[in-house]
């Protein structure tokens, strides 16, 4: 495409498109790839899919502070940074995790006993 045809397209563009082009040409547009990953948020279900875990397990990881959350008008979101840290091993299990695991094992054992009886 020639410069002349590009200029013609710009002149025929809507005012909104012209402002967007002007911002790009002047370098005032913040590029998406420059956004910090810790500011990105994901839903509980999205985190469960990303981690290949169940939603209940994700809630347990939140309860034990292995995943950070942000409350947006009553909607809980998980930071992508905490997911990456969790996957990288930077958020190891703690005493709270061990307690939840023990409670979960006890509930599972109790449910098996009830099924047999």
Q: How far apart are CA 32 and CA 47, in angstroms?
A: 21
- Give the closest residue to 62 by CA, choosing from 39, 96, 95: 96
Tokens of 72: 């947006």
pLDDT at 44: 93
Q: Is 27 helix (H, G, I), strand (E, B) or coil?
A: coil
pTM for this prediction: 0.52
Q: How far apart are CA 68 and CA 77, in angstroms?
A: 8
CB 44 within 8 A of CB 59: yes
How remote is the C-alpha of 114 from its chain's centroid?
38
pLDDT at 109: 82
Residues of the chain under the 70 pLDDT cut: 1, 27-39, 115-117
């Amino acid at each position: 495409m020639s410069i002349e045809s590009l200029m013609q397209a710009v002149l025929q563009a809507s005012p909104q498109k012209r402002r967007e082009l002007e911002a790009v040409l002047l370098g005032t547009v913040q590029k998406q790839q420059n956004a910090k990953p810790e500011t990105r948020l994901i839903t509980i279900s999205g985190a469960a899919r990303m981690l290949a875990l169940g939603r209940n397990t994700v809630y347990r990881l939140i309860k034990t502070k292995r995943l950070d959350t942000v409350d947006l008008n009553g909607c809980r979101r998980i930071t992508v940074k905490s997911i990456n840290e969790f996957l990288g091993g930077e958020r190891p299990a703690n005493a709270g995790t061990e307690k939840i695991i023990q409670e979960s094992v006890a509930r599972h054992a109790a449910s098996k006993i009830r099924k047999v009886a």
